Structure 1
Amino acid sequence: MGKSITLKNSRYTPVILHIAGIRGVTAGTGNRRSAGLRKDGFIFVYRTAALLLAAALLTAGCGGSGRADTEDSAEAYQWLDDYEPVSREPLTLTRWETDNLEDLERAGEIFEQHTGVEVRLQILTWDDYIKMLDRDFAEGEDPGLFRLHPYFAQKYIRQGSIRNLSDMPFEDLPELTALQTDTIMSIYRMGDDIYGIPLIGGVCSALWYNKSIFDDCHLQYPDAGWSWEDVADAAAIIQKSGKGYDGIRLSDTNGEEGYYNIIASYGGYVINDIATESGMAKQETLQAMDLTADMIREGMPSYEEMQTSAIYEDFIAGKTGMAILGSWRVPSLLDNAYALEHMDCTVLPFAETTGIRGAAINSSCWSMWSGTGRAEDYWNLLRTMTVYTIMEKGNTDEILPVSAREKKKYADGGFPFHLEAYSDLFQGSPAVDPVNRVQIPWSLDTDTWNRILIRSMRKAWKDPDHMRQYCTEAAAEINEALEQEGVQYSMAYIRRDSATAACCIIDTDARKIRYFADGGKIRFTGVYTGDFENGAAVSYGSSGIEEYIRFRDPGDPGILLVRDAFGRTWTFEKTDLREAFELIRSSS
Structure 2
Amino acid sequence: MKKLISSFFIIVLVVFLSACSSSSSGSDKEVLEVALWDENVSDAVDASIKSFNEEHPDVKVNVTYTPYANYWTKLKTSLGGGSGPDVFWMNGPNFYKYSTDGLIKNLEPFIKEEDKFKKDEYVPAVVDLYSMEGELYAAPYFTDSVGLYYNKQLFDDAGVDYPDDSWTWEDIETAGEKLTNPDEGIFGYAAHTTVNQQGYYNLIHQAGGYVISEDKTKSGFDSPESKEAFSFIKNLIDKGISPSTQKQIETESKQLFMSNKLAMLPAISVNTPELYESLGENLAVAPLPKGKQEASIVHGIGWSMNDKVENEDLAWDLIKSLTSEQANKDIAESGFSIPAMQSTGEIWLNSVPSLDLQVFLDAQKNGVAYPISKRTSEWQDIESKEIQSAFLEGTSIDDALDRVAEESNRILEEENSE
Please give the range of the TM-score, normalised by the shorter of the 2 chains.
Answer: 0.7 to 0.9
AA paired with 2:373? S
CA 1:395–1:475: 2 relative to 1, 3 Å? same
Once the two structures are TM-superposed, the CA of residue 179 in structure 1 deviates from its matched residue by: 1.1
Tell me if the contact between 1:170 and 1:177 (Cα under 8 Å) persists in the aligned partners: no
Residue aligning to 1:477: 407
The correspondence for 1:162, drawn from 82, 104, 114, is: 104
Tell me if the contact between 1:389 and 1:395 (Cα under 8 Å) persists in the aligned partners: no
Q: Quick one: distance in 2 between partners of 1:395 and 1:149? A: 23
Q: Quick one: distance in 2 between partners of 1:464 and 1:230? A: 26
Q: Counterpart of 1:122 in 2: which secondary structure?
A: strand
CA 1:95–1:304: 2 relative to 1, 3 Å? closer
Q: Quick one: distance in 2 between partners of 1:343 and 1:140? A: 46
CA 1:314–1:180: 2 relative to 1, 3 Å? closer
Once the two structures are TM-superposed, the CA of residue 370 in structure 1 deviates from its matched residue by: 1.9
Residue aligning to 1:13: none
Residue aligning to 1:374: 311
Q: Higher helix fraction: Structure 1 or Structure 2?
A: 2
Residue aligning to 1:459: 389
Tell me if the contact between 1:296 and 1:461 (Cα under 8 Å) persists in the aligned partners: no
Q: Does 1:187 align with 2:115?
A: no
The correspondence for 1:342, drawn from 251, 272, 282, is: 282
Q: How many matched pairs?
A: 383
Once the two structures are TM-superposed, the CA of residue 323 in structure 1 deviates from its matched residue by: 0.8
The correspondence for 2:373, drawn from 432, 443, 446, is: 443
Once the two structures are TM-superposed, the CA of residue 381 in structure 1 deviates from its matched residue by: 1.6
The correspondence for 1:384, drawn from 321, 326, 329, is: 321
Once the two structures are TM-superposed, the CA of residue 136 in structure 1 deviates from its matched residue by: 2.6
Pairing 1:17-28 to 2, within 5 Å after superposition: none
AA paired with 1:344? A
Instruction: Extract structure 1 runs of 4+ deviating beyond 4 A.
Output: 240-243, 390-396, 407-411
Residue aligning to 1:37: none
Q: Counterpart of 1:364 in 2: which secondary structure?
A: strand
Q: Quick one: distance in 2 between partners of 1:234 and 1:465? A: 28
CA RMSD after TM alignment: 2.9
Q: Does 1:329 align with 2:257?
A: no
**Normalization by structure 1: what TM-score?**
0.60
The correspondence for 1:95, drawn from 36, 42, 54, is: 36
Q: Quick one: distance in 2 between partners of 1:126 and 1:176? A: 27
Q: Quick one: distance in 2 between partners of 1:408 and 1:482? A: 40
Once the two structures are TM-superposed, the CA of residue 127 in structure 1 deviates from its matched residue by: 3.7
AA paired with 1:345? V
Q: Quick one: distance in 1 between partners of 2:276 and 2:233? A: 29
Once the two structures are TM-superposed, the CA of residue 261 in structure 1 deviates from its matched residue by: 0.7
Q: Quick one: distance in 1 between partners of 2:80 and 2:257? A: 40
Pairing 1:165-314 to 2, within 5 Å after superposition: 165-171=107-113, 172-174=115-117, 176-179=119-122, 181=124, 183-200=125-142, 202-239=143-180, 242-298=183-239, 299-314=241-256
Q: Higher strand fraction: Structure 1 or Structure 2?
A: 1
The correspondence for 2:416, drawn from 488, 502, 521, is: 488
**Normalization by structure 2: what TM-score?**
0.83
Tell me if the contact between 1:229 and 1:291 (Cα under 8 Å) persists in the aligned partners: no
Identity between Structure 1 and Structure 2 (%): 23
Q: Does 1:149 align with 2:86?
A: no
Q: Counterpart of 2:188 in 1: which secondary structure?
A: strand
Q: Quick one: distance in 2 between partners of 1:445 and 1:238? A: 40
- Work out which structure has the larger RCO, using CA pairs closer than 8 Å and 6 or more positions apart in sequence: 2
Q: Give deviations 1:520-563, integer Å, cap 9, x for gaps.
A: xxxxxxxxxxxxxxxxxxxxxxxxxxxxxxxxxxxxxxxxxxxx
Q: Quick one: distance in 2 between partners of 1:371 and 1:306? A: 39
Tell me if the contact between 2:331 and 2:338 (Cα under 8 Å) persists in the aligned partners: no
Tell me if the contact between 2:111 and 2:117 (Cα under 8 Å) persists in the aligned partners: no
AA paired with 1:342? N
AA paired with 1:217? A
Once the two structures are TM-superposed, the CA of residue 334 in structure 1 deviates from its matched residue by: 3.3
Mind listing any 5+ residue stretches in structure 2 that lack a counterpart? 1-24, 341-345
Q: Quick one: distance in 2 between partners of 1:303 and 1:125? A: 22
Q: Counterpart of 1:128 in 2: which secondary structure?
A: helix
Q: Quick one: distance in 2 between partners of 1:105 and 1:449? A: 36
Pairing 1:63-74 to 2, within 5 Å after superposition: none
Q: Counterpart of 2:264 in 1: which secondary structure?
A: strand
Q: Quick one: distance in 2 between partners of 1:465 and 1:141? A: 44
Once the two structures are TM-superposed, the CA of residue 161 in structure 1 deviates from its matched residue by: 1.8
Once the two structures are TM-superposed, the CA of residue 277 in structure 1 deviates from its matched residue by: 2.0
Mind listing any 5+ residue stretches in structure 1 that lack a counterpart? 1-47, 49-86, 428-434, 491-588
Tell me if the contact between 1:223 and 1:347 (Cα under 8 Å) persists in the aligned partners: yes
Q: Counterpart of 1:315 in 2: which secondary structure?
A: helix
Residue aligning to 2:15: none
The correspondence for 2:398, drawn from 455, 468, 474, is: 468
Tell me if the contact between 2:126 and 2:300 (Cα under 8 Å) persists in the aligned partners: yes
Tell me if the contact between 1:232 and 1:291 (Cα under 8 Å) persists in the aligned partners: no
Once the two structures are TM-superposed, the CA of residue 441 in structure 1 deviates from its matched residue by: 2.1
Residue aligning to 1:315: 257
Once the two structures are TM-superposed, the CA of residue 252 in structure 1 deviates from its matched residue by: 1.6
